[in-house]
Structure 1
Amino acid sequence: MSSLVRMRLLPSAQCLYTQPVRVLVDGLRSSQVVTMKARATDDKGVPFHASAVYRADAGGAVDLGREPSLGGSYTGVEPMGLLWSLRADALHTKFHKTDSRRPHVVRFSVHDGEAGAGPLLAEATNERRLLADGVERQPIKEGNIRGVLFVPPGEGPFPAVMDLYIYGDGLSERRASLLANCGLMVLTLALYGHDDQSKKVTKLHLDYFEEAIQLLRKHPKAMDSGVGLISISKSGDLALSIATHLPNVKATVSINCCCSNVAIPLFYRGSQICSPLMYDVSKVTVTKSGALNVKHSLHDPLAPENEGSLIPIERATGRFLFVAAEDDLNWDSCLFADQMTERLRRQGKDNFEKVVYPVAGHYLEPPFGPYCPSSFHGVVGAPVAWGGEPKAHAKAEMHLWNKIQEFFRTHLVPEAGAAKARL
């Protein structure tokens, strides 16, 4: 390692997961070509890596926020490119960062030459924390509820949100903890209400989520303005059903979801309230990577025979933020978002917003995590392509993260409590 070359991470080598970091290298020769590398390991012990080729400026410096990458995992000026372009060696591998107590540790290095095999010139480690100072992490095992509650520092009261994550991923703390860093009190929920999350689920019961809402609302630091919901994919249609059939839901973020109850029958107080919309396997295609494209495999939710699966969202009293990615290959999220907004308009409703991301894929998550092109799908039982172009997908995640906070701030925080919420 050269004693003349220095790598710096600004403003600090330690930061929160959603905070950008400026990567600077100086002490190089004028116009020297170098390879920047990033390495990280997820919560399952799977290694991820990325690299990009840069040419130093006349003063022998490389600033990832100013100089363009000439090749490697991405090209162009991408200040956070080494983070969102991290990939595992094995195909169909999703980055798992679910435990909020463990930071996302990324090791940056700079090497001489464009092949990446040249001598190590400098290195630095970026520790990206999921929990801000003072945020409390409280495991919940009360009644039927299994989850983790994140409470911001201070006396409150705080707007309360329930985080429902995608079917098959179990309990994930990442999004919930990061939202708590922004001043929200967030309960991330194990969706199925039992300790053995590996059991095959044949029914879903709204009673479980009703119990969770009651638990969240009775917390002494919760605002009494109602709760919010945030969800993606299968948990998205579940959130729509919760907002439709249960009281006290004021704001629902539904990311890349269907307008019908998908795959699993939904019950409430012992009776089935929604039949499942199922798949037509004959419409599944195979991508070049070997992953399945299931975008058009769902049956038509508007067909008369599927009427029992449609979620009557016009009955909901809260607000909706429908998020759709045009290149979602899991299902036709844009079509479903259009169907939902049209249904609400026909009923004279204006309690919704819609945001569409043109070249993004299915897994829209908090920003600066590795982009996932495909991974194993629990319902399908095989690797599925999620779609999206990595660079556009990363930009969509940055925009959406701010949009989510703005949505909850607007619809969950009474004007008098806005200062206390510190969003």
Structure 2
Amino acid sequence: MEPKIHEKPGPRIEIASRNVIMDKKADIWVRGFESHSHVDVTAETVDDNGRKWQSVTPYTLNPQGCLEIAVAESEGERFDDIDPWEIFDSMRPVDLPGGNVPMFAKTTTEPLLVDISATAPNGDSARSSLRLHVFDDATTIREEVREGTLQGTFFCPKGDGPFPVVICLGGSDGWFTEPRPALLASHGIATFSVAYFGGEPLTEELSEVPLEFFDRAVAWLEKYSAVDTKRMGIYGYSKGAELALLLASRDKRIRAVAAYSPSSVVWQSPNGGATKSSWTAGGVPLPFVRMHLSGMKIMKIMTGRPVAFREIYEQGMEKHPEQTEAAHIPVENISGPVLLVSGTEDGVWPSGEMGDAIEKSLKEAGKDVIHLKYTGAGHLTTLPGLPAPEVRDTLIFGGTSKKSSRALEDAWKNMVAFFTTNL
């Protein structure tokens, strides 16, 4: 029998695990190509709305024809200037080449299948794939809550509790979301994503929304033995950040607050018609600041052109200082520490400046606050590890997708540590 010949494997992509939690960096190696070869690494996936996204990232391999896109150094192959998130968050819609980056639709807890390939000018190529998860049913419980005006989804780590819990609030669509709470729950923190408007049996519009929905959510959690409501935090983004800060300023049970793209005041309802407050307490509308709509903004809205609402809010505060004072969210009454996340180029509203005002009020009251203010980032709401939007339909988010993506990745890591430390 002739001896078996062991040939060196050819070009290949090796992935340490084909199932990765989305906020973890995947260990990916490109190997077996020619020394110092130039390769294009392509990543492709389809979002939850069926839109195809793709990135093509050029790299130069080392003398061994290898490249490591990974977290930890290993085998001396790592290039220090390699960004391990780049192939994921630089993906762009195939049907919108060169345009403003839209919202990457991630609305379910289903994993994203990402196909990865590497090609060299001499024709060498390799392919592989992995799945990015926000939820792992082996380690986390998911429970739907549909009890009248209490609508949401609860996620809880499996194992010995009780666990700290964070109530999660979405943006101006008002309904509960699942990917972010599911991802946060993978870090040993129970989460309860709760709707506050947006459909039956709740009010349809973001107008005079009763704050009492929060009491119903806490009452439900208090019956759940696996969580400890004495270690309860709250997390919201955009309009949900305004709401999170408002609730925490009125409820001592909330021990820590994370607010992405926050507001320092209560704003009017963004709906058309009669000008009303966004919120009520005990049936009484809360004081609010009116937005200032110029004729040009109205024309852009009516004609469906892209619009940045930032100056509508800025001019509202400038033209109505008495309303701004009356509608101030009394963050100085918040019991625990506060984490603020904002971008300097937020096109939706001036979250950076409003975050500064919140930070100032908290520091003057002797409260603990961290303000992560990212230069060049826009309206920060989305998941880490995915392309951040520059626009959502005709709403301009501001900033660049790259800078916003980096900000979201850093902010998420800090938020997980913030809740882990303070709850």
Q: TM-score, normalised by structure 2?
A: 0.84
Separation in 1, partners of 2:47, 2:85? 18
- Counterparts of residues 76-225 of structure 1 (less than 5 Å): 77-88=82-93, 89-90=95-96, 91=99, 93-100=102-109, 102-113=110-121, 121-132=125-136, 133-168=138-173, 170-192=175-197, 194-195=199-200, 199-225=204-230
**In structure 2, what is the equivalent of residue 304 of structure 1?**
322
Closer/same/farther in 2, CA of residues 224 and 80 from structure 1, 3 Å limit: closer
Separation in 1, partners of 2:354, 2:295? 21
Separation in 2, partners of 1:68, 1:107? 22
- Are 1:399 and 2:404 counterparts? no
Amino acid at match of 1:174: P
In the TM superposition, what is the alpha-carbon distance from 1:176 to its structure 2 partner? 0.2
Separation in 2, partners of 1:63, 1:134? 29
Separation in 2, partners of 1:37, 1:278? 44
| Contact persistence 2:173–2:198 (CA under 8 A) | no
Separation in 1, partners of 2:113, 2:259? 30
Separation in 2, partners of 1:180, 1:156? 13
Separation in 2, partners of 1:145, 1:251? 22
Unpaired segments ≥5 residues, structure 1 = 70-75, 377-382, 413-423
**In structure 1, what is the equivalent of residue 3 of structure 2?**
none
> Alignment partner of 2:264: what SS?
coil
**In structure 1, what is the equivalent of residue 284 of structure 2?**
271
| Contact persistence 2:198–2:205 (CA under 8 A) | no
In the TM superposition, what is the alpha-carbon distance from 1:363 to its structure 2 partner? 2.1
- Counterparts of residues 65-76 of structure 1 (less than 5 Å): none
Closer/same/farther in 2, CA of residues 197 and 97 from structure 1, 3 Å limit: farther
Separation in 2, partners of 1:189, 1:126? 31
Deviates more, 1:30-39 or 1:89-98: 89-98
Separation in 2, partners of 1:312, 1:169? 22
Separation in 2, partners of 1:64, 1:134? 27
Closer/same/farther in 2, CA of residues 225 and 169 from structure 1, 3 Å limit: closer
Separation in 2, partners of 1:120, 1:209? 58
Query: Radius of gyration: which is bigger?
Result: 2
Closer/same/farther in 2, CA of residues 40 and 245 from structure 1, 3 Å limit: same
Closer/same/farther in 2, CA of residues 345 and 371 from structure 1, 3 Å limit: closer
Separation in 2, partners of 1:211, 1:240? 18
- Counterparts of residues 318-333 of structure 1 (less than 5 Å): 318-333=336-351
Separation in 1, partners of 2:242, 2:34? 55
Separation in 2, partners of 1:233, 1:185? 22
Flag as ranges the 4+ runs of structure 1 deviating above 6 A: 66-69
Query: Which residue of 373, 377, 402 corresponds with 1:356?
Result: 373
**In structure 1, what is the equivalent of residue 73 of structure 2?**
none
> Alignment partner of 2:310: what SS?
coil
Amino acid at match of 1:105: L
Query: Which residue of 41, 45, 58 corresponds with 1:53?
Result: 58
Q: TM-score, normalised by structure 1?
A: 0.84
Separation in 2, partners of 1:386, 1:281? 19
> Alignment partner of 1:25: what SS?
strand
Separation in 2, partners of 1:405, 1:261? 27
Question: Kindly, what percent of the aligned residue pairs are identical?
Answer: 22
| Contact persistence 2:102–2:389 (CA under 8 A) | yes
- Are 1:411 and 2:422 counterparts? yes
In the TM superposition, what is the alpha-carbon distance from 1:226 to its structure 2 partner? 4.1
| Contact persistence 2:140–2:158 (CA under 8 A) | yes
Query: Which residue of 4, 8, 32 corresponds with 2:14?
Result: 8
- Are 1:365 and 2:382 counterparts? yes
Aligned pairs, number = 388
**In structure 2, what is the equivalent of residue 389 of structure 1?**
400
Closer/same/farther in 2, CA of residues 263 and 272 from structure 1, 3 Å limit: closer
Amino acid at match of 1:48: W
- Any idea what the Cα deviations from partners look like across 1:392-419, whole Å, max 9, x if unmatched? 333322321221122212322xxxxxxx
Separation in 1, partners of 2:203, 2:215? 23
| Contact persistence 1:216–1:222 (CA under 8 A) | yes
Deviates more, 1:274-283 or 1:16-25: 274-283
> Alignment partner of 2:286: what SS?
strand
Closer/same/farther in 2, CA of residues 389 and 201 from structure 1, 3 Å limit: closer
Separation in 1, partners of 2:310, 2:79? 34
Separation in 2, partners of 1:385, 1:152? 37
Amino acid at match of 1:172: T
Amino acid at match of 1:228: G
Separation in 2, partners of 1:43, 1:120? 32
> Alignment partner of 1:235: what SS?
helix
**In structure 2, what is the equivalent of residue 252 of structure 1?**
257
Separation in 2, partners of 1:96, 1:196? 25
Query: Which residue of 14, 19, 23 corresponds with 2:24?
Result: 19
